[in-house]
């Protein structure tokens, strides 16, 4: 529709205002750059254009568009731009003023050219070759430097072939076109600078989180990588839930901001472990503190053997050649040594954490603690095992006592305290809740707050499954081997049935084979067995 010149200008000014608002809200750099060029073409009626970014002394092609030729390269098009960057300086360091885009950037000036073929002072040979190859006629050029809030040139906006709104004929860019393009370039430069700065701050923040996680994982060779693997599994399950078209989560959808928030939360889910003592985190055996105290028990057995040998020798001396008595004493001595060796090996075996210790083994530990006596370093008669050693050796599952497990569990309270103390921006406000809920249970029997399913976000429930499955399949625990997929899913299925994990999320985890995609990245081949989903407890297809 034809508009009077004044009405057209007013319309384009309105467009410029709307464009400025839209640019400030765009988070994706490629889309932002693309929107800048498309907007500039629209308000100046340009047929084509190129957006360059100034990087390391060069102008790098970012976006190219030519409507009449159907050319769309760079940005979100998926088609790379094949042209090399334009150097701002030659090999001797002299400014490259022959290229109009470089000239505009170097001199911080807008260049408005009516006809490239007749314009003196600039090298348009590359443009002419392009025209020869495509049958195009590049004529009017408007080249505008993009300067940020610090007055630094961060890019160049170049528009080609202004079209008359009514006739469609190629015309020079008007003074109004130039002012509008310069205004847009200024707004675009600020929007681009702000987005780059925000991206850099987000990258710095994530790098800092990764640094914390590396420090936590470094505390123990047995849990190293946990802080890296749980986020990967969390996001795999979250995407499967997001894609669900049936079931309880068919309406659950995540935006890019939601994904970023969950990723940050999953990266920080164990940040409280920075305060957990290393000797607890790294407790590979039941008697380990700063060292494995099983060696002290070995020494006590050697003391018992020494005392037995002394008794045997003294009794033999007293027998004074009684062959039968000497033979019996020797047999008794050898039997005592054999029993000592058996009991020592038993205690050494008990010192290695298991998943389920038998009642009879616990009772045997307590019996041995009282059966044998020994002289301590002060020469005092003492029980063979202290109460604390008995308590450790009798640990039913794993290597941690109840008190030590409380120390470990305290990390989640520290995590919540740490995260709630931070001034989160609005788009990350749920990070403490997501990260702090991965040890809660659907039936309210979890910790630290005893939340029920209804009191937890979907994201926290997702992270709970990821945390458990990673722990079950981890191949670096000191007291167990990483479980196979079948074993891990069977345990998770039982957890579903007893109210530990979200039942609907578990069904998606199995149905969409999230477990398999994770396994192919992080598990050993022997752990990836053929899963019979019909045998998984509680699974509902």
Please check whether residue 272 is in contact with residue 411, taking contact to mean a CB–CB distance below 8 angstroms.
yes
Distance CA(247)–CA(505), nearest Å, equals 10
Report the DSSP pairing between strands 373-375 and 381-383.
Answer: antiparallel
Entry pTM: 0.68
Backbone φ/ψ region at 514: left (φ over 0), alpha (ψ -120 to 50), beta? alpha
Q: Which of 34, 35, 30, 65 is nearest to 49 (CA)?
A: 65
Distance CA(83)–CA(81), nearest Å, equals 6
Distance CA(103)–CA(96), nearest Å, equals 7
Phi/psi of residue 313, nearest 5 degrees: -65, -40
Mean pLDDT by 10 residues, the chain (541 residues): 53 62 67 83 92 93 94 90 93 93 95 93 91 94 90 92 87 91 83 82 87 75 74 96 93 94 92 78 77 88 91 87 87 93 93 84 91 82 89 86 80 89 92 93 93 96 96 74 92 95 96 96 94 94 86
Going by C-beta distance under 8 Å and a sequence separation of 6 or more, which residues neighbour residue 66?
Answer: 47, 48, 49, 136, 160
* Cis check: omega of the bond before 391, within 30 degrees of 0: no
Please check whether residue 454 is in contact with residue 460, taking contact to mean a CB–CB distance below 8 angstroms.
no
Tokens representing 370?
A: 């009282």
Tokens representing 395?
A: 């640990």
The reported pLDDT for the residue numbered 64 is: 94
Please check whether residue 432 is in contact with residue 411, taking contact to mean a CB–CB distance below 8 angstroms.
no
Distance CA(200)–CA(241), nearest Å, equals 30
The CA distances from residue 313 to 79, 178, 334, in Å, are 91, 110, 12
Phi/psi of residue 295, nearest 5 degrees: -70, -30
DSSP 255-291: -HHHHHHHHHHHHTTTGGGGGS-HHHHT--BTTBSSS
Please check whether residue 297 is in contact with residue 315, taking contact to mean a CB–CB distance below 8 angstroms.
no
Q: Give the dihedral of Cα atoms 444, 449, 455, 461; nearest 10 deg.
A: -80
Distance CA(526)–CA(154), nearest Å, equals 53
Phi/psi of residue 458, nearest 5 degrees: -60, -40
The reported pLDDT for the residue numbered 1 is: 44
Instruction: Compute how many other C-beta atoms are within 10 angstroms of the C-beta atom of residue 457.
Output: 15
b/e code 238-265 from CB counts within 10 Å (16+ = b): bebbeebeeeebeeeebeeebebbbbbb
Going by C-beta distance under 8 Å and a sequence separation of 6 or more, which residues neighbour residue 190?
Answer: 148, 149
Euclidean distance between the first and the last CA atom of the chain, given in angstroms as a whole number: 57
The reported pLDDT for the residue numbered 14 is: 64
Q: Which of 161, 199, 197 is nearest to 49 (CA)?
A: 161
The CA distances from residue 268 to 103, 271, 348, 472, in Å, are 48, 5, 37, 20
């Amino acid at each position: 529709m034809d508009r009077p010149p004044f009405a057209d200008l007013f319309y384009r000014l309105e467009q410029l205002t709307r464009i400025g608002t839209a640019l400030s809200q765009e988070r994706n750099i490629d889309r932002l750059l693309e929107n800048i060029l498309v907007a500039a073409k629209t308000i100046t009626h340009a047929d084509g254009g190129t957006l360059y970014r100034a990087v390391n002394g060069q102008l790098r092609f970012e976006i190219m568009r030519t409507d009449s030729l159907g050319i769309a390269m760079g940005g979100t098009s998926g088609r790379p731009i094949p042209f090399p960057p334009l150097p701002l300086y030659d090999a001797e360091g002299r400014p490259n003023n022959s290229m109009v885009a470089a000239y505009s950037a170097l001199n911080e000036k807008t260049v408005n050219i009516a006809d490239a073929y007749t314009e003196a002072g600039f090298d348009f040979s590359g443009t002419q070759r392009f025209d020869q190859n495509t049958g195009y006629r590049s004529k009017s050029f408007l080249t505008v430097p993009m300067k940020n809030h610090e007055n630094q040139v961060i890019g160049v906006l170049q528009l080609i072939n202004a079209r008359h709104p009514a006739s469609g004929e190629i015309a020079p860019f008007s003074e109004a076109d130039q002012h509008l393009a310069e205004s847009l370039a200024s707004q675009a430069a600020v929007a681009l600078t702000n987005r780059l700065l925000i991206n850099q701050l987000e990258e710095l923040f994530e790098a800092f989180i990764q640094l914390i996680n590396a420090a936590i994982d470094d505390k123990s060779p047995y849990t190293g990588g946990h802080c890296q693997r749980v986020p990967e599994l969390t996001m795999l399950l979250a995407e499967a839930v997001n894609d669900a078209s049936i079931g309880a989560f068919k309406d659950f959808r995540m935006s890019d901001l939601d994904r970023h928030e969950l990723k940050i939360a999953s990266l920080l889910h164990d940040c409280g472990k920075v305060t957990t003592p290393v000797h607890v985190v790294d407790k590979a055996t039941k008697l380990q503190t700063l060292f494995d105290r099983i060696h002290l028990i070995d020494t006590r057995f050697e003391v018992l053997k020494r005392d037995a040998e002394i008794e045997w020798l003294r009794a033999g001396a007293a027998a004074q050649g009684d062959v039968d008595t000497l033979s019996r004493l020797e047999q008794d001595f050898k039997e005592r040594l054999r029993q000592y060796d058996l009991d020592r090996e038993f205690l050494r075996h008990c010192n290695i954490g298991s998943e389920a210790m038998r009642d009879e083994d616990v009772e045997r530990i307590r019996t041995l603690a009282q059966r044998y006596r020994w002289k301590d370093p002060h020469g005092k008669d003492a029980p063979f095992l202290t109460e604390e050693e008995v308590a450790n050796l009798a640990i039913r599952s794993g290597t941690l006592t109840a008190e030590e497990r409380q120390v470990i569990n305290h990390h989640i309270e520290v995590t919540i305290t740490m995260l709630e103390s931070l001034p989160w921006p609005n788009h990350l406000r749920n990070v403490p809740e997501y990260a702090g809920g991965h040890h809660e249970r659907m039936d309210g029997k979890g910790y630290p707050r005893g939340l029920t399913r209804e009191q937890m976000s979907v994201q926290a429930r997702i992270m709970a499954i990821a945390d458990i499955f990673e722990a079950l399949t981890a191949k670096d625990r000191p007291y167990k081997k990483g479980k196979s997929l079948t074993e891990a899913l069977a345990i998770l299925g039982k957890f579903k049935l007893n109210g530990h994990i979200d039942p609907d999320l578990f069904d998606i985890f199995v149905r969409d084979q999230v477990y398999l995609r994770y396994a192919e990245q992080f598990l050993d081949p022997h752990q990836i067995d053929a899963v019979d989903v019909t045998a998984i407890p509680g699974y509902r297809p």
